[in-house]
Chains A and B, each alone.
Chain A
Amino acid sequence: DIVMTQSPDSLPVSLGERATINCKSSQNILYSSNNKNYLAWFQQRPGQPPKLLISWASTRESGVPDRFSGSGSGTDFTLTISSLQAEDVAVYYCQQYYSTPYTFGQGTKLEIK
């Protein structure tokens, strides 16, 4: 199974500041035939289901604010929130869908400093 490891586990950030969450896969999740990274990012607010933010490592879903961006390739990926808003407090998960069983990172809890 591909292991997804996020860092940090917890991230305190001041309102208006940048937040950066890292995700590392134990194997390459870039499919060479289409040059796509099989990685998604989700936001989960307390008591809510996960919400898809980004697919293919960097494609923002419709309706997701443009302060959210994804980057990286191969085994190392990053979710960046350019200017933290109060409503961004949540746990963030990365997920690989390169090979089954699809696996998630352990989550990063983003909080206001």
Chain B
Amino acid sequence: QVQLVQSGAEVKKPGASVKVSCKTSGYTFETFGISWVRQAPGQGLEWMGWISAYNGDTTYAQNFQGRVIMTTDTSTSTAYMELRSLTSDDTAVYYCARDEWNWYGDYWGQGTLVTVSS
């Protein structure tokens, strides 16, 4: 069965970076992409971007351009999302989702809470 398992919760100081991993199984990693979506506490969903696991092509939301880097490691079927220059506004649960064509996530990871606090 398709599974996406994310790395554990992180606490970071303002200005730092965080890298969240998303290990996948149950499907051929290279034939799908991965989307990243975040959710601030008690808030709605915000799309951050998408990466193709086939060729590494990325599409980032303008709000995160220059601050986010999405990568994949086909040898371990794992996707990564690194977010730099963190502020308290980046405190959120970060989700990865399998997304074949950069449309919508059909299987989601359990989420990773990133807390930014001094």
Residues of A within 8 A of B (CB): 38, 40, 42, 49-52, 55, 61, 93, 95, 97, 100-107
Given contacts A49-B95, A49-B110, A100-B61, contact A105 B44 (CB under 8 A): yes
Q: Which residues of B contact A103 (CB under 8 A)?
A: 47
In the bound assembly, the distance between CA atoms of A47 and B109 in angstroms comes to: 12
**Mind listing 16 A-B residue pairs with CB under 8 Å?**
A38-B103, A49-B97, A49-B111, A50-B45, A50-B108, A93-B45, A95-B104, A97-B104, A100-B47, A100-B61, A101-B61, A101-B62, A101-B63, A102-B104, A104-B46, A104-B47
A4 (CB) vs chain B CBs: closest residue? B44
Give the distance to chain A from B48, nearest Cβ to Cβ, in Å.
9
**Which residues from A are CB-within-8-Å of B111?**
49
Q: How far is the CB of A84 from the nearest CB of chain B, in Å?
A: 22
CB-CB contacts below 8 Å: B46-94 with A: 46-47, 59, 61-63
* Complex Cα–Cα for A102 and B46 (A): 8
Query: For A61, what are the chain B residues with a Cβ–Cβ distance below 8 Å?
Result: 106
- Distance to closest chain B CB from A112 (angstroms): 21
> Of B44, B47, B97, B106, which contacts A106 at CB under 8 A?
B44
- Is there contact, CB below 8 Å, between B44 and A93? yes
Chain B interfacial positions (CB closer than 8 Å to A): 37, 44-47, 59, 61-63, 95, 97, 102-111
Taken together as a complex, chains A and B put the C-alpha atoms of A106 and B111 apart, in Å, by 19
Closest partner residue, chain B, to A97 (CB atom):
B103
Instruction: Report A42 CB to chain B, min CB distance, Å.
Output: 8
16 further interface pairs, Cβ-Cβ under 8 Å (given A55-B104, A93-B45): A38-B103, A40-B103, A49-B95, A49-B111, A50-B105, A55-B103, A55-B106, A93-B44, A97-B103, A97-B104, A100-B61, A101-B62, A101-B63, A102-B104, A103-B47, A107-B45
**A56 to nearest B CB, angstroms?**
9
CB proximity of A26 to chain B, nearest CB, Å = 16
A49–B45 CB distance below 8 A? no
Q: Which residue of A lies closest to B104 (CB)?
A: A40
Q: Please determine whether B47 and A107 come into contact, CB atoms closer than 8 angstroms.
A: no
- Chain A residues with CB under 8 A of B107: 52
